[in-house]
Structure 1
């Protein structure tokens, strides 16, 4: 199905939506200030016919800037709103996945967003190119540490991806001058496809590996891992001794003067009424 032709205003919104929303806000401000400055420029009538051409050009530029000072910022602000909405939608998609069955139950559009968000959380800058059909060519372009990686998503619930599709993606990678290509499917790969990818800058991610990737970057699982790490490696607590003078609890202090400056010691909690001291080991 051919893509519907869009206007320049819609294209600008699409570009802004692909950017971080903070960047779009900055660009909206810069665009308004720039075009407003031009639109507010004084009009000086030409003194002779030779200056008439420059006068007409400047007048047209001022006229266009009068409208663009509002149109362009509105496009960037709209794109920023879309970017925020998409970001929340991607986060919801990723955080609500529980396994292979939930991933296979997704639409192909949501599947592409899920894959993109997973790589985004791995530290990649993600350009979403999503095709207009379930198999629309390059879906994402990843950038990280100067390397370019193209990604194609195949939301196949049962079918195995064959070697011809892997060959096609490898050819696209070469044509796009990319360093690596990644094929992601909710299904599996044929033996021929795996054999062709071996030894080449091709990464094949099947459904089970995708589940592992999603769980790795889910915030809920990261919180659980931190809790487990803290439980397995508890911070050792120093037990408070009893003051030998009055029998009250002692607190850990640091010497600020004298020969033992900087050293820690146990001092009575009733100081200065009690000056009991115990050496800290």
Structure 2
């Protein structure tokens, strides 16, 4: 079984209608709240006027009588379904707003790795999904309770990333799981795979992941990820993670509390983990992701 984005359990092989509903919910989930009313109006117009109008154009004088009768029936049914279609979109929009509020509240309640480890595995997966959404990904939750396999599917800029979540507190993730994740990447032809865990990996598992380009987000990195996307304006800033030994030291002439050049908020030290500047420190706005302004450390 696979859980859809809006909480209804679906069979593993989804129909086109199921995928459409999942996509519509994901769209409403990602968009600002005010997008919902126009979508409701569009659904009403589509069923009440657009479909009947097109069918009336098809029912010309040259059309067979039985086709004219068929088009007339479909047109009448479409007009009758208009309020139901609009109502369904409204319910889906409200469900998306509720889910967005619940996920945002869960994200902002986290105070560090201990609070993350205290979550249930379902809340752990939802927390990861919300964190990736704030990084600009479209997220699909693909697990309905069974531990193992792919739990999240991320899409961004035409790239597809598979995420396996391990809410393990008392033991380390072994190399067998990392090997299986690599096999899933090859089988599904994904662009990237990520292993996210609230615990740690064994030394062998870490070496295998590094050798095969598998991105690992372990306990300390996970806490840093969650802290970087928390967006409640009245939430105290999380302690900055200790820079890696290879990280560039901060410029003594730069103050961490200097105002952000874009919004005036305080700046904090961060460390780039990807791209050509990986391992280097920079100043980032504390209101990220609302403000993405950065300053280089010279």
User: TM-score, structure 1 length as denominator?
Assistant: 0.68
Compare CA radii of gyration and give the structure with the larger one.
1
**How far has the Cα of 1:142 moved from its partner?**
2.1
Structure 1 distance, partners of 2:124, 2:138, is 15
Q: Which runs of 5+ in 2 are unaligned?
A: 3-8, 238-253, 261-298
**Residue 129 (structure 1) aligned to one of 121, 133, 141:** 141
Q: Give the 3 Å change call, closer, same or farther, for CA 218–165 of structure 1 in structure 2.
A: same
Aligned to 2:156: 144
**How far has the Cα of 1:75 moved from its partner?**
1.9
For the pair 1:84 / 2:109, whether they are aligned, the reply is: no
Q: Map residues 6-25 of structure 1 onto 2, 5 A cutoff.
A: 14-19=22-27, 20=31, 21-25=33-37
**How far has the Cα of 1:33 moved from its partner?**
0.5
- Once superposed, what is the RMSD of the aligned Cα atoms? 3.7
Structure 2 distance, partners of 1:49, 1:216, is 65
Cα-to-partner distance string for 1:103-122 (whole Å, 9 max, x where unaligned):
11111111111111112222
For the pair 1:36 / 2:53, whether they are aligned, the reply is: no
SS class of match (1:63): helix
Structure 2 distance, partners of 1:219, 1:47, is 57
Structure 1 distance, partners of 2:70, 2:227, is 58
Cα-to-partner distance string for 1:49-97 (whole Å, 9 max, x where unaligned):
9712312330332133134312222222111111111111111111111
Structure 2 distance, partners of 1:29, 1:117, is 28
Aligned to 2:115: 102
Aligned to 2:83: 70
Question: How many residues are treated as equivalent by the alignment?
Answer: 231
Q: Which runs of 5+ in 1 are unaligned?
A: 236-281
Q: Give the 3 Å change call, closer, same or farther, for CA 38–223 of structure 1 in structure 2.
A: closer
SS class of match (1:219): coil
**How far has the Cα of 1:9 moved from its partner?**
8.6
**How far has the Cα of 1:40 moved from its partner?**
5.5
Residues 48 and 80 in structure 2, CA contact (< 8 A), matched pair in contact too: no
Aligned to 2:180: 168
Structure 1 distance, partners of 2:96, 2:112, is 27
Q: Give the 3 Å change call, closer, same or farther, for CA 213–223 of structure 1 in structure 2.
A: same
Aligned to 1:200: 212
Cα-to-partner distance string for 1:155-202 (whole Å, 9 max, x where unaligned):
122222222222222222223332111111112112222121113231
Cα-to-partner distance string for 1:3-37 (whole Å, 9 max, x where unaligned):
56699998765543322355554333222111101
User: TM-score, structure 2 length as denominator?
Assistant: 0.64
**How far has the Cα of 1:43 moved from its partner?**
7.3
Structure 1 distance, partners of 2:181, 2:171, is 18
